[in-house]
C-alpha cells in the first residue's frame, strides 16, 4: 500500500558520530507527517530538537544507530544531504551560518539551481527574489550583501524564510526561526510561513514561543524530552505548556515509572 506520509520516522536512535561515550541523544523516536500538515515540536533546552532536524538532513556530525526514516516512502539514510535537499527537504537553521564572499542573491540562486538541477535564469530569478524580499519586508540592498555577514540575529532568521520562499520545498524544518525576532518580525515570518504552506507541503516547527503559531493552523504537537516523544496532542497542548511548563509531563512520567 502506498503511504500517504511525507515523512515517516520509526524508532529513531541517534547520537554524535564517533562519540558513543556521549550516549544516544535521540532514544527511540516516532514521527509521521502527511502533506498539508503543520507539526510543532516543543521541548526543554537540550532535549534533542535540533539534533532531530540535523539527523533528518543527514548532518555528518550525527549518526543513526537504529531505526528508520522515510521521505515519500524512500529510505532517507541511503541519501546524502544534498540529495535530501533535492528531494524537497529544507532546514532553517537555529544558528544560520555567515558566508563571507557570497552574496545573498548568488547564494540563493546557486541553491535554487542545485536543488532543481536546472539553470535558473538571472532576470527571472531577480524578479522572484525582489517579490519575496518585499513580502518579508527585507531591504532590497541586502541581496548584494554577503550571506548573513554582519546581519543582526533577527535579520538572519528572516533571511532563512526568504530561502524557504524561493526554494519552495516539500518539507520545511524550522528550528526556532522565530527566536530573537521582534513582535512585528514574528508576524512577518509567520505570514511568510503561511504563504509557503499549502496542501501539498508540510512544516515541522520547533519553537519556545507560541506567538509564531497563533496565525498557523497547527495539526499536531509533539513534546520531546530527553530524546523521546513523551506527549502528543493538538494545538491545545501549546497553551497548556505555555501556562504550566513541562512540569506536568515530567510528573506524569515519574508516576508511570513509579507504577512499573
Ligand atoms: N555535536 C554534538 N556534540 C556533543 N553533544 C551534542 C552535539 N549535538 C548535540 N549534543 C547534545 O545533545 C543534546 C541535545 O542537543 P540539541 O541541540 O538537539 O537540543 P535542543 O533540544 O535543540 O535544545 P535548544 O532548545 O537549547 O535548542 C544536548 O545535551 C547537546 O549538548
Ligand atoms: Mg535547538
- Decide if 126 is inside a domain: no
Identify the helix (H) or strand (E) that includes residue 108.
Answer: helix 104-116
Q: Residue of the nearest CA to atom 9 in ligand 1?
A: 51
In total, how many domains does the chain have? 1
Ligand 1 atom closest to Cα of residue 25: 12
CATH code for the domain of 58: 3.40.50.300
Residue 29 covered by a domain? yes
The boundaries of the domain holding residue 201 are 7-93+168-259
Please check whether residue 208 lies inside any domain of the structure.
yes
Q: Is residue 32 part of a domain?
A: yes
Considering every ligand atom, which ligand is closest to the CA of 51?
A: 1
**Residue 119, in any domain of the structure:** no
Burial class (CB in 10 A: 0-12, 13-18, 19+), 139: exposed
Query: Ligand 2 center to residue 188 CA distance, Å?
Result: 22
Pocket of ligand 1 (CB under 6 A): 16, 22, 25, 43, 45-51, 61, 94
**Which ligand 1 atom sits nearest the alpha carbon of residue 227?**
14
Ligand 1 pocket check: which of 19, 27, 50 to mutate, most ligand atoms within 8 Å of Cβ? Answer: 50
Domain-embedded: residue 215: yes
**Could you tell me the distance, in angstroms and rounded to a whole number, from the CA of residue 227 to the centre of ligand 1?**
10
Ligand 2 geometric centre to CA of 224 (Å):
11
Give the nearest ligand 1 atom to 44 CA: 25
In a domain, 82, yes or no: yes
Return per-residue pLDDT of the chain as tens, 260 residues.
Answer: 456 899 999 999 999 998 877 789 999 999 999 999 999 999 999 999 999 999 999 999 999 999 999 999 999 999 999 999 999 999 999 999 999 999 999 999 999 999 999 999 999 999 999 999 999 999 999 999 999 999 999 999 999 999 999 999 999 999 999 998 999 999 999 999 999 999 999 999 999 988 899 989 999 999 999 999 999 999 999 999 999 999 999 999 999 888 87
125 located within any domain? no
Neighbour tally for 104: CB within 10 Å:
24
In this prediction, residue 3 carries a pLDDT of 61
Going through the chain in order, the beta strands assigned E by DSSP cover: 7-16, 24-33, 38-42, 62-71, 74-75, 89-92, 99-103, 146-147, 171-175, 202-206, 220-225, 228-233
Amino acid at each position: 500500500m502506498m503511504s500517504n506520509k511525507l515523512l515517516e520516522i520509526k524508532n529513531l536512535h541517534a547520537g554524535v558520530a564517533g562519540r558513543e561515550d556521549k550516549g544516544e541523544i535521540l532514544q527511540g523516536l516516532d514521527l509521521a507527517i502527511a502533506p498539508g500538515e503543520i507539526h510543532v515540536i516543543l521541548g526543554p533546552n537540550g532535549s534533542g530538537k535540533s539534533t532531530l532536524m540535523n539527523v533528518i538532513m543527514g548532518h555528518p556530525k550525527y549518526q543513526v544507530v537504529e531505526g528508520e526514516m522515510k521521505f515519500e516512502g524512500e529510505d532517507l539514510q541511503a541519501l546524502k544531504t544534498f540529495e535530501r535537499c533535492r528531494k524537497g527537504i529544507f532546514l532553517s537553521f537555529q544558528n544560520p551560518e555567515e558566508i563571507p564572499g557570497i552574496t545573498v542573491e548568488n547564494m540563493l540562486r546557486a541553491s535554487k539551481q542545485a536543488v532543481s538541477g536546472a539553470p535558473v535564469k538571472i532576470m527571472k530569478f531577480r524578479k522572484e527574489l525582489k517579490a519575496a524580499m518585499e513580502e518579508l519586508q527585507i531591504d532590497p540592498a541586502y541581496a548584494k550583501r554577503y550571506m548573513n555577514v554582519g546581519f543582526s540575529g533577527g535579520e538572519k532568521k528572516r533571511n532563512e524564510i526568504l530561502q524557504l520562499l524561493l526554494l519552495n520545498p516539500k518539507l520545511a524544518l524550522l528550528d526556532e526561526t522565530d527566536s530573537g525576532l521582534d513582535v512585528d518580525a514574528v508576524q512577518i515570518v509567520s505570514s511568510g510561513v503561511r504563504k509557503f504552506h499549502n496542501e501539498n507541503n508540510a512544516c515541522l516547527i520547533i519553537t519556545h514561543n507560541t506567538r509564531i503559531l497563533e496565525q498557523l493552523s497547527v495539526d499536531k504537537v509533539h513534546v520531546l524530552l530527553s530524546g523521546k516523544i513523551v506527549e502528543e496532542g493538538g494545538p491545545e497542548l501549546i497553551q497548556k505548556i505555555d501556562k504550566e511548563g513541562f512540569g506536568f509531563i515530567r510528573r506524569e512520567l515519574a508516576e508511570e515509572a513509579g507504577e512499573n
